[in-house]
Structure 1
């Protein structure tokens, strides 16, 4: 993907806000738990290497990523803390992960048995975190029998495996609705029941994500997987409140690339979905759905020269058209996400417009939009 360094559309990432949010989280933790900084998916669109280095500066126990390639990128960048790949992988990659000191998520005994042969041949040891499926229905052991078998196998093959961690993932910790709270309580009870069969727990027991660390401090464990709130965003969207100390870290900006006056009854954009009711000034902004600014953003208002201005006509692949109150100068700053004075466009506002969650909004900001730190 070519990064757009020759156009003034970019995401501005405030690394000081990310470091601040980690410090705030540490102060919130009652039992001084460890923090794993979750930097998967290019740090939720914020930039994996830069965010990981910022987290390193304020002290984290490790990082969580989704895929091996993300872990390898962190190692190449010189980060030496624990790195856990949250997704499961084929046993053929056991040697690669061991060689690079990357911790593997394990959710079935078959991986362990096949990986043991590989690791034994290569004379390597792999650190593993056992995933427990307590109700997410995604990956992990579901019964005490399965878990005991895996733990016993690891113990019997301690030359090839280091039992480093155990975890589960909550599916409803970000909601205050009774049905969601009840399900969260069911999951934590299931987790505690499962681990009760183990003679000894590993070094890292991590059950809390950002949501659980804020609203369910009683969930236990000695480590927090700190994800969306590290970026200053609310895990529950607007349903529940988070401490006001957390600061959003990302802004999305561009500029007016062209300006023209159209006449009453003139139309704008593909499909003739907007027709002017009077003579109007139309500004063209160089951002579109190929940048992650989706077609559903038609009708949304963005900030130009301290005015909320409506996107008119369909969002194009590379450009949008916006109705503005006067002939604005080419080069005028445009705020698509961010704040100026008392006026603000939140990531959540964008998510509400397209009917999704803010996680998806930041992850969709494409690679051709440069990140400025």
Structure 2
């Protein structure tokens, strides 16, 4: 393939930036004009590529970015991203000056954190969003008393710019809404206890942002659905927009051989041919995030399904081919080939996990090709540092 000059193995992922743009735009159109969109690009944009997705989301109407840790925010700054960035997770108080110098917004989640942060700010100003815990049980101030203490502390120190307040719903992607409503009511009560509301008030993730207009406030955080995936299988049929998966995974057969009846395949000799079979080897394995539990998962070869046989190795796995096909034939592990489609949700079901996890676990050893208008516009190859 023509991209071969940029990497030297026959396995790669493709990220459809048009899909990211369409998903972001479609969800943005659901929102009233006064509701902003915070694009969540943590974990290397859920394994898709931080700067590529960030630029696409901003072009599609996002006004703010969010990451999990300050390292991720600094990586975006180093790559030229100038948009506001919020760190959703905990940052060490010792590092607040670094955030301030790089115009990175931090999450204040405890009174102790605020007190310690003051000793490291010097004469710098720091934008903060207060995180309140309304029932998730992770980080955040709990109850009106703690929130009022935090607000008072911030008011007394002009170096803190109280820019936002947020919470996180734990069941927004479930059909049962009683606990969601309980959290929403708690958040509204906390907002009412503030003497002054900050510029940004955000509580909704992808699920809540699409399903519950009352929970949008003036910003939503768009994560999983920006990448074309439903927050959960149970709400997928009722989503108000059509989502387009942005991530696909591909490889090529590096060897094809005919095995006779009774021959064994892979470690542990767990697979035995039931007759004469064509077996193909694919250069992807558990070191790439294509883990051993995917034994038996079907991939697409010439538009037909072919099961993985034997144990998945560190760098390779084998498939039972429906017929002879030549070396070099493309294999689609995630994505569309011909009239068939292996979606991220199918892989998640096989692994008994959620779709969020799948693109995240495909390791940086797998090069990412970025496509727009059907053409490759960029490549990230972590191994070669390009």
TM-score w.r.t. length of structure 2: 0.92
For residues 223 and 152 of structure 2, the distance between their equivalents in structure 1, rounded to whole angstroms, comes to 32
The answer as to whether partners of 1:237 and 1:358 remain within 8 angstroms in 2 is no
How far has the Cα of 1:341 moved from its partner?
3.5
Structure 2 partner of 1:203:
199
- Once residues 17 and 162 of structure 1 are traced to their aligned partners in structure 2, the CA distance between those partners, rounded to angstroms, is 36
Tell me the SS of whatever aligns to 2:187: helix
Decide whether aligned partners of structure 1 residues 195 and 244 sit closer, same or farther in structure 2, where only a CA change above 3 A counts: closer
Q: State the shift of 1:351 in Å.
A: 0.4
**Which residue does the alignment assign to 2:84?**
82
2:299 is aligned with 1:321: no
Seen in structure 2, the aligned counterparts of structure 1 residues 291 and 172 have a Cα distance that, compared at 3 Å, is: same
Offset at residue 218 of structure 1 (A): 1.6
How many correspondences in the alignment?
364
Q: Which moved more, 1:271-280 or 1:30-39?
A: 30-39
Counterpart Cα distance in 1 of 2:241 and 2:33: 21
CA contact (8 A) 1:26 1:32 kept: no
For 2:298 and 2:93, the matched residues in 1 are separated by 49
Matched, 1:359 2:356: yes
Aligned to 1:335: 332
- CA distance in structure 2 between the aligned counterparts of 1:28 and 1:16, rounded to whole angstroms: 19
- Give 1:304's aligned residue: 301
**Partners of 1:337 and 1:32 in 2: how far apart?**
37
How many angstroms apart in 2 are the aligned matches of 1:98 and 1:237?
Answer: 40
Q: Which residue of 2 aligns with 1:173?
A: 172
Match of 1:196, SS state, is: helix
Q: Which residue among 101, 126, 135 is the counterpart of 2:103?
A: 101
Q: Is the 8 A contact 1:128 1:164 kept in 2?
A: yes
Does the 8 Å contact 2:17/2:56 carry over to 1?
yes
| Distance in 2, Cα, partners of 1:86 & 1:264 | 56
**After the TM superposition, which parts of structure 1 deviate over 3 Å for at least 4 consecutive aligned residues?**
none
Task: Please give the root-mean-square deviation of Cα atoms over the aligned residues, in Å.
Answer: 1.2
1:22 aligns with 2:21: no
Aligned mates of 1:296, 1:19 — CA distance in 2: 33
How far apart are 1:215 and its partner, in Å? 1.4
Task: Give the one of 260, 269, 274 matched to 1:272.
Answer: 269
**Does 311-320 or 53-62 show the bigger shift?**
53-62
